[in-house]
Chains A and B, each alone.
Chain A
Amino acid sequence: MFGYIIANKPELKIKDYEIYHSYYCGLCHTLKRRYGRAGQLTLSYDMTFLYILLSGLYEPEETDSERRCVLHPAKKQLQRENPYAVYAADMNVLLSYYDLMDDWQDEHSHKSLAAARILGKRLPELEEAYPRQAAAVKRYVEELGRLESAVCTPDAVDTGAGARSEVLAADPSSLDAAAGLTGTMLGEIFCMKEDEWALTLRRLGFYLGKYIYLMDAWEDRSSDREKGSYNVWLMQGREVDEQEARSVLNLMMSECAFSFEALPVLKNAEIIRNILYSGVWIKYEQVRQKENESKN
């Protein structure tokens, strides 16, 4: 479900792109330092975004280093690090652990299980350092699991395991309820500490999470329809057209953007805006193009 929070590269100034890349590499290096190779493999654009966002908000002292890395053996890469890379790396691993366990359960990927086992050893320390975030991710994963194990058609919901799902018990057709799961979870991740920006960061993460969830569900609706899997778009009692879906997605991102604009961020602001106003739509456009093509 993740991997949508990316930049629209052609629209970034070269200078900004290089800064973006240096945060990405800095996060990668931090992951390697703290979690070794297994941690490095969890590197995500999503947490790179969080890293850039927090760096912009708190303006910490930063260190830029040039290092060689496995992927770019010819040329040294600029890696930008600061204390927020540690938080982003820790969150990256926290999220990835559950994601990997999910892969193992769904697809029996041994690679995933192996990686999960390695990272899992660090879970207790993460849970201790970040009890609020760890609890939020755990709750989210459990609820998502319940949703997924229910068998749904637009007319009926098999409430076997699904009965214990909060969402299905409340209103399975509610876009907000379903998307709110990811939203609440991401909101907790984005709120690093309970300071004057806690509310705004939560709000930013919340609406971004809802956007991601709904876009992901939109992309999966055909396959979910075939499998009889729960998909909130299929629960609307009518065929939802692309325009309506896009409207809802815009609604989510606009709240997210307003939250960003409420933060006194000057540093990295243009990179962040590129991502929030444009980059997040890249994947959506790709899906739309693919669907248009298969129609014609």
Chain B
Amino acid sequence: MLNPYQVLGVSESASDDEIKKAYRALSRKYHPDANVNNPNKAQAEEKFKEIQQAYDQIVREREQGVRGGYSQGYGGSSQSGYGGGYGQGYGRSYGSSGGSYSRGGSEYDRGDWTWGWGPFGFGGFGGFGDYGGSGYGSQTSSTDFAGENYDEETVSRLRSAATYINARQYQEAINVLNTMRDHPAHWYYYSALANYRLGNNATALSQARQAVAMRPDNMQFERLVQILEGGTSAYQETGDSSYGRSSLGLLRFCLPCCAMNLCCNSFGMLGRGLFCC
């Protein structure tokens, strides 16, 4: 598999905005809509897919970097007003996610972008295994549950859930997990994974925390909590440092629109969010 940065024609230290700009330029050239009358449109389409995959892979790796705490910081560095602020922050995570490009293709092999498939397949994880190759392998690597005293029934069901998760059939995984009477640490871990993929992120986080509480030494569990929580720290920091979120508490508001000064009172907007004091 090609280096995604090469596909987009940018350096690995390119900022997020530079990546987006490069993608847009290539997309304008190779997008199917732009090649309707092109005799080579099949090649253009192939090239477009390649470009799309490269972009998605870079974005996902950078997101993983920020969430996983690999990033050296977002709002903190090179705050050049609004313009460069966010772009710089995100870009910090380049190269820190282990540079394992080869796994990137899996999400897109299916070419299936439909809702039912697992809408959060692009949930920024791309398989928990892609973390510095430290033996996590696939999302649910060690299904031998080393060190746990699980009975046969439990092991069998957990394995089944893990298989469903790897096959991206998250609701089926949940269904299997819900048949289990016992909820050991791995039950919480797999539930967290499946729930996250289904978009139940609040549930996922609380389940991941429960897994850690039960097995504080398990790095895989700890990692999951870090990823689920890590996104929130990055989000809050950016809001505070670049978008004035932290000073919202100092402003006195009567109604939302006053912060906006977009008072369109004369229409009497039926109370639909457009009112003024």
Interface residues of A (CB under 8 A from B): 2-4, 6-11, 13, 21, 24, 28, 40-46, 59, 70-71, 96, 99-100, 103, 109, 111-112, 115, 174-177, 179-180, 183, 187, 194, 196, 198-200, 202-203, 206-207, 247-248, 250-255, 257-258, 261-262, 264-266, 269-270, 273-274, 277-278, 281-283, 285-286, 288-289
Contact = CB atoms under 8 A, between A and B. Distances in A.
A contact patch SS: helix
A196 B235 contact: no
Contacts of A6: 256-257, 259-260
Nearest to B56: A262
Interface in B81-138: 82-83, 86, 90, 113-115, 119-124
A71 B235 contact: no
Nearest to B204: A176
B253 A10 contact: no
Given A194-B113, A254-B231, A254-B235, A8 B20 contact: no
Contacts of A286: 253, 255-256
B113 A199 contact: yes
Contact of B20 (A13, A44, A264): A264
Contacts of A179: 202
A199 B119 contact: yes
B170 interface: no
Given A43-B264, A187-B119, 20 more contacts: A2-B272, A6-B257, A41-B270, A41-B272, A45-B262, A103-B270, A206-B199, A251-B228, A258-B235, A261-B63, A261-B90, A262-B59, A264-B24, A264-B27, A266-B21, A273-B86, A277-B242, A277-B243, A278-B243, A285-B249
Contacts of B269: 41, 43
A196 B23 CA distance: 13
B9 interface: no
A282 B195 contact: no
- In the A-B complex, the 6 residue pairs with the closest CB atoms: A3-B273, A254-B235, A11-B244, A278-B243, A176-B200, A277-B239
A3 B275 CA distance: 10
A175 B205 contact: no
A282 B23 CA distance: 34
10 contacts: A3-B272, A43-B272, A45-B274, A71-B265, A176-B202, A176-B203, A180-B200, A194-B114, A254-B236, A282-B253
Given A43-B274, A261-B16, A266-B17, A202 B119 contact: yes
B266 interface: yes
A21 B205 CA distance: 38
A7 B256 CA distance: 9
User: How many residues of B sit at the interface, in one of the four size bands?
Assistant: 35 or more
B186 to A, nearest CB: 21
Contacts of B146: none
A100 B269 CA distance: 11
B189 to A, nearest CB: 18
Nearest to B60: A262
Contact of A203 (B86, B123, B255, B272): B123
Contacts of B253: 282, 285-286, 289
B201 interface: yes
B55 interface: yes
B272 A42 contact: yes
A112 B262 CA distance: 23
A262 B122 contact: yes
Given A176-B200, A262-B122, A277-B235, A9 B261 contact: yes
Given A43-B274, A44-B272, A257-B235, A8 B244 contact: yes
Contacts of B249: 285, 288-289
| Most B CB within 10 A of own CB, among A40, A45, A265, A288 | A45
A41 B264 CA distance: 10
A203 B120 contact: yes
B35 interface: no
Nearest to A16: B82
B256 A274 contact: no
B119 A285 contact: no
B55 to A, nearest CB: 7
